[in-house]
Amino acid sequence: MRKSIVSKTLLILGVLALAAVPLFAQWHSDTRISNTSGTSYAPYNTGGWGVAADANDVYIVWRDYSFSQYVRAVVFPIGSPPAAGSGTALSSTSLSYDVAVAAGDGTNAHAVWDRSGNLYYNGYNGSSWGSEYLHTSGQNLRAQSIADISNGTSYIATSGSWSYPGFVYRVCYRERSSGGTWGPLINAWAPTSSDYHYFVHPSICVTPDGLRHISMGIYRSAGPSYTIGHMWSSNGTSWSHEYLLPSYSAYHIRPTSICSDPDGNLYIAYMDYPSPYQVSVIDNVGGSWNTPVQISNCPTSLYYLSICCDTFGTVWVAWEDRSGQTYEIYYATRPKGGSWGAPQELTPNDGIVSRHPNLTADPNGNVHITWTDRRDGNYEVYYNWYAGSGGGPGGRDLACTRILKPLGKITGDPVTPSAVVANFGGGEDSCYAKCVITGPGVNYDKGNLEGIVYLEAGEEDAVSFPSWTPPGGAGDRYRVEVTVYLWPEKTIEDDDPSNNIQVEYATIESAVQVDAIEVVKPVEGSVVDSMTPEANFKNVGTEAAENFYCYCEIVSQGYHTADYLDSVPVASLDPEEVKNVKFAKWICDDDASYMATFFAAIPGTPDYARILLGKELSVMFQGTPLVGIAESADALRIEVTGPNPFIAGTLVSYAVGYPISTTIRVYDVTGKVVRTLHDGELSGYGSLYWDGTDDAGAELAGGLYFIRIITPGFTKTAKVVLLH
């Protein structure tokens, strides 16, 4: 007898004890979007969205460090995501940040980003993207948020310093008509220099009555501080504004996210204050602002979130959560006229980092999400979608939506492989599944124990396979593939064959585990101009850890990325032993938010990614330029202007504002110096050639390298990929 979704979920939880791995009635399979040699990031430090959708197509944008053109995009029909790849380049250079996208009229989409305080745009005309267009320059603005209405008109909100270098900020607004005409840049909220405001990355939406609404985090010296603001306008020229929360209610340096439901009610998601920062939502349902509702419940602070509303009036919020081993994507929903539901996992608690969610809804009632995921070694962009009753493929569509076991870290004990199968088609259907496990010493190929599974439209069920015992040892990795076949046809050729197969990986956990357990410097939420990063690491495993490295990575969350990576070798660390590690000095060159991540790992090789030995630990802090450094930052530049990636050789261009002792070196991913390109006084502009060899003339292994220009008290870094 078939059971409802609720009953099946209860059965699954009871029989398989999967409380930490919830099932999703209409989520499809996770789909990898980017597949490149370097790091790919879904947008995160912006009030905009990295995914948009109209009635027919999905538009995804991201930043990719594999190319000299950072901003990338893919477009595909709803229900038919493409094979993972490099996407289409939207920008012309590498230093491009805070990308966002919007779609409205069913034939066009619009992407925006910033570079060095200038604002850029690119448009999709229904068949291809155009060329990068500089629509605003010289205004020291960043982090655009964009919203489209049905006729293709784009509304853009952005912020930046108003009386530089006094750092009094303003919120600006600009429109682009469906015909391509740009309106003037409007100072929508521009306080005087005597009224200090710090506006953080505005988010914009349009209600059905045509009103433009903007939300943002605010720090104001006169109060309220640590709050969020709301602005609105009927014409884009005259704006009103209000402070929504009392002082010290919101973690203002994290972006907000705003949306409207079909009735014109507003919902603003933000990180509350004090620590641990949690996801809260404030709305004006009923005509006035209501008491905020906290919807996350994590023991540690959260940082990035996204909100949208579907055509049925259900509001969706997604965020990165630390309730499990590491960052995972969670979400919660509020049905029209209802209350917020409990948080649910979208990505499994498997110890693999999943961050930076971006949500959107299409006119058919479907909801789409992208995020940054590390399951493939590199950070890559992933996608999934939730099929509403108005859209998605029809006919027959059977799928494997998730592998439950084995997954992530496993032991050598017997395990019962299991997965979730679903029916996304238009009527009742039947299927069966096969599980194939390959890896060291195994060739497992079994059918599901339940035999033929019958599913109503929109239903899902858990299936299990015969017991399997991993034959290998610590560190062995296994590929787990589950395929759903139509019955009685015994084929996967339904309306969407791409979701019939799901692949995951399981690794036998090692008795060696070194965790970053405490960050000494920087302190969470502190303001830092320079520091010596410091953390404590502990071997929580049962065997001694030998010949590994402790790492510190600092990444700018703003439009200037001063990539910092340092590593300290450790010869041995006994079980339960704690080691304090100090890293090389870091100096801030930009007024921006930063994330410092500490972890222990075995360095990678050209063929394999770096192997983590335990849990990462990250803290967020605010950077402020060291006195004298901001001026040096403007005068010091380094950029890979030759091929990148390269095979035979590449050019490294530099700019040094005045004669000074300068070193330009190449580092591998462990932080080891492999080549010195220059060591001595330097000034002006120039280029250096690097042929991919070390100081001894030996050819280096392919992979990621860092090129650093170093002057007394200041450093800048560029990335380059060597291919063989």
> Distance of alpha carbon 430 from its chain centroid, rounded?
37
Instruction: Identify the CA nearest to 561 among candidates 533, 583, 589.
Output: 589
> Where do you find CATH 2.60.40.10 in the chain?
404-508, 514-623
Q: What is the pLDDT of residue 135?
A: 95
Instruction: Identify the CA nearest to 200 among candidates 170, 156, 232, 233.
Output: 170
CATH of domain 629-722: 2.60.40.1930
> Where do you find CATH 2.60.40.1930 in the chain?
629-722
Task: Look up residue 42 and give its amino acid.
Answer: A
Q: What is the pLDDT of residue 24?
A: 35
pLDDT tens column, 653-679: 777 766 778 889 998 877 788 999 998
* Beta-sheet strand order (sheet of 293-294): 257-260, 266-271, 279-283, 293-294
Q: Is the pLDDT of residue 609 over 60?
A: no
CATH of domain 29-348+361-386: 2.120.10.70
Instruction: Identify the CA nearest to 624 among candidates 596, 588, 595, 586.
Output: 588
Residue, of 642 and 290, whose pLDDT is higher: 290
CATH code 2.60.40.10 for 514-623: yes
Q: Is the pLDDT of residue 192 over 70?
A: yes
Give the rounded percent of residues in the chain with a pLDDT score beyond 90: 48
Residue 601 and residue 582: Cα distance in Å, rounded?
A: 16
pLDDT tens column, 309-329: 999 899 999 999 988 778 899
Taking the CA atoms of 216, 221, 226 and 227 in sequence, report the sign of the dihedral they define.
negative
- Lowest model confidence (mean pLDDT) among 575-589, 625-639, 659-673, 690-704: 625-639
Residue 168 and residue 38: Cα distance in Å, rounded?
A: 36
Instruction: Identify the CA nearest to 447 among candidates 431, 434, 438.
Output: 434
Label residue 451 left, alpha or beta by phi (over 0 means left) and psi (-120 to 50 means alpha): left
pLDDT tens column, 553-598: 888 764 334 468 888 999 999 989 999 999 998 888 766 778 899 9
- Lowest model confidence (mean pLDDT) among 106-115, 453-462, 579-588, 682-691: 682-691
Instruction: Identify the CA nearest to 536 among candidates 573, 568, 598, 580.
Output: 580
Q: What is the total residue count of the chain?
A: 724
Q: Is the pLDDT of residue 348 over 90?
A: no
**How do 545-556 and 564-573 pair as beta strands?**
antiparallel
Strand partners, 484: 433
CB atoms within 10 A of CB 379: 22
Whether the full predicted model's pTM is greater than 0.85, yes or no, is no
Cα-based distances in Å from 197 to 119, 160, 228, 461, 620:
21, 11, 12, 53, 21
Q: State the alpha helices, DSSP H only, in 386-448.
A: none
Task: Look up residue 287 and give its amino acid.
Answer: G
Q: Is the pLDDT of residue 124 over 90?
A: yes
Q: What is the pLDDT of residue 8?
A: 32
Q: Is the pLDDT of residue 126 over 50?
A: yes
Taking the CA atoms of 261, 266, 267 and 270 in sequence, report the sign of the dihedral they define.
positive
* Average pLDDT value over all residues in the chain: 85
Strand partners, 556: 594
Instruction: Identify the CA nearest to 203 among candidates 237, 156, 240, 235.
Output: 156
Cα-based distances in Å from 188 to 134, 241, 243, 431:
21, 9, 15, 57
Residue that has been written with the tokens 């190319």 in this structure:
67
Q: What is the pLDDT of residue 454?
A: 94
Residue 114 and residue 547: Cα distance in Å, rounded?
A: 42
Nearest 10 degrees: CA dihedral of 325, 329, 335, 339? 40
Q: Is the pLDDT of residue 511 over 90?
A: no
CB atoms within 10 A of CB 45: 24
CB burial of residue 356 (10 Å; 0-12, 13-18, 19+):
buried
Residue, of 41 and 715, whose pLDDT is higher: 41
Q: What is the pLDDT of residue 512?
A: 82
Q: What share of the chain is helix, strand, coil (3-state, %, to 5)?
A: 5, 50, 45
Residue, of 609 and 431, whose pLDDT is higher: 431
For residue 43, the SS3 value is coil
Token pair in block for residue 643? 């091929």
Token pair in block for residue 217? 């985090």
- The beta strands (E) that lie in 239-386 are given as 240-243, 257-260, 266-271, 279-283, 293-294, 305-309, 315-321, 328-334, 344-345, 354-361, 367-376, 378-386
Residue 294 and residue 306: Cα distance in Å, rounded?
A: 15
Residue, of 440 and 641, whose pLDDT is higher: 440
> Distance of alpha carbon 681 from its chain centroid, rounded?
40
Token pair in block for residue 277? 């920062």
Q: What is the pLDDT of residue 628?
A: 46
Q: Could you tell me the end-to-end alpha-carbon distance of the chain, in angstroms, rounded to an integer?
A: 58
**Fold (CATH) for 404-508:** Immunoglobulin-like (2.60.40)
Cα-based distances in Å from 30 to 50, 320, 361:
16, 16, 17
Structural contact between residues 50 and 77, judged by C-beta atoms closer than 8 angstroms = no
- CB half-sphere exposure, 155, CA atoms < 13 A: 24
Residue 103 and residue 56: Cα distance in Å, rounded?
A: 11
Residue, of 608 and 662, whose pLDDT is higher: 662
Token pair in block for residue 536? 């404590």
Residue 596 and residue 601: Cα distance in Å, rounded?
A: 16
Q: What is the pLDDT of residue 583?
A: 94
Model confidence at 12, pLDDT cuts 50, 70, 90, reads very low
> Distance of alpha carbon 337 from its chain centroid, rounded?
31
Instruction: Identify the CA nearest to 386 among candidates 334, 462, 321, 310.
Output: 310
For residue 634, the SS3 value is helix
Task: Look up residue 61 and give its amino acid.
Answer: V
Token pair in block for residue 715? 């450093």
Instruction: Identify the CA nearest to 63 among candidates 113, 121, 108.
Output: 113
Any idea what the Cα angle at residue 10 is, between residues 9 and 13, rounded to 5°? 85
* Residues in Cβ contact with 478 at an 8 Å cutoff, skipping those fewer than 6 apart: 406, 437, 438, 439, 440, 442, 470, 472, 505, 506, 507
Instruction: Identify the CA nearest to 404 among candidates 416, 387, 414, 413.
Output: 416
Q: What is the pLDDT of residue 605?
A: 53
Residue 715 and residue 620: Cα distance in Å, rounded?
A: 21
Structural contact between residues 120 and 176, judged by C-beta atoms closer than 8 angstroms = no
Q: What is the pLDDT of residue 657?
A: 64
Any idea what the Cα angle at residue 644 is, between residues 641 and 645, rounded to 5°? 165
CB burial of residue 376 (10 Å; 0-12, 13-18, 19+):
middle
Q: Is the pLDDT of residue 166 over 70?
A: no
> Where do you find CATH 2.120.10.70 in the chain?
29-348+361-386
pLDDT tens column, 390-431: 334 347 889 998 899 998 878 888 999 999 999 888 788 999
Model confidence at 636, pLDDT cuts 50, 70, 90, reads low
Model confidence at 437, pLDDT cuts 50, 70, 90, reads very high
Residue 58 and residue 42: Cα distance in Å, rounded?
A: 15
Question: What is the rounded average pLDDT of the residues 285-299?
Answer: 95
Give the rounded percent of residues in the chain with a pLDDT score beyond 70: 89
